[in-house]
Amino acid sequence: MENNSSDQSFDTLANKFNKNIYGSTKGQLRHELLLHYLQKNIGLNNAPLNILDAGGGTGKMTEALLRLGHNVTLTDISSEALELASENLGDHANLTLSHTDILSLPESTEYDLVICHAVLEWLKDPLPVINKLVALTKKNGYLSLSFFNYDAQLFGNVLYGNFDYVERGMTKKNVVRLSPNNPQKPKYILSYLQTLP
């Protein structure tokens, strides 16, 4: 996550996040689908890649990439999440953990693959982060973004008959700490990506 005061960090919530997200069948399915499509489209079983897992939290995706023999830099602003990642991942020669926000990452290092999964929806303004992620991706490299989808949230609420909630703009009366505060519209993000060099 990023360090802006209105962005979400998972310090004090890392254990709960890890259990509720990756410990659920929904979270496991999401992880396996992302890994499947990364393998299918990038060829993760080939030569080792230098990979950045930006905002990678407790390291679930990093763990899978390390098992495939890649060099992975895992970053997050939550020291608690990185502690869990360190405990879960052990000592790997091809792992670097970095307690930093994405915007502070040095552009002197470029990666074959930059992953940023489930981060944008926690940021007040994701566009500068997208710019940074693109800058960190090697020419002919890959950027993998996934985020909580506003359109899917809208569709689900209409499907379940939550019309009053939809009319209010899907704003919550009570803050739910593990519910993303800024779901992104795929059309907007994709349009923005097309404007970048």
pLDDT tens column, 83-107: 999 998 988 899 999 999 999 999 9
Distance of CA 101 to the CA centre of its chain: 12
What is the CATH number for 138? 3.40.50.150
Distance of CA 2 to the CA centre of its chain: 11
pLDDT at residue 90, as a whole number: 86
pTM as predicted: 0.80
Tally of structural domains, the chain: 1
Q: Tell me 4's DSSP state.
A: S
pLDDT digits (tens, 9 = 90+) for 120-161: 988 989 999 999 999 999 999 999 999 877 555 555 656 668
Residue type, position 148, single letter: F
Q: Tell me 184's DSSP state.
A: B
For the four alpha carbons of 60, 63, 64 and 66, in that order, the dihedral sign comes to: positive
Whether 32 is in a domain gets the answer yes
Q: How far is CA 97 from CA 17, 47, 112, 155, in A?
A: 19, 22, 18, 38
Q: Which domain holds residue 46?
A: 14-148+187-195
Long-range contacts of 94-100 (CB under 8 A, 24+ apart): 94/48, 94/66, 94/69, 94/70, 95/62, 95/66, 95/71, 96/71, 96/72, 97/73, 98/73, 98/74, 99/75, 100/75
Angle, alpha carbons 146-32-134 (nearest 5°): 30
Whether 157 is in a domain gets the answer no
For 58, what's the count of Cα atoms within 13 Å in the CB-facing half-sphere?
20
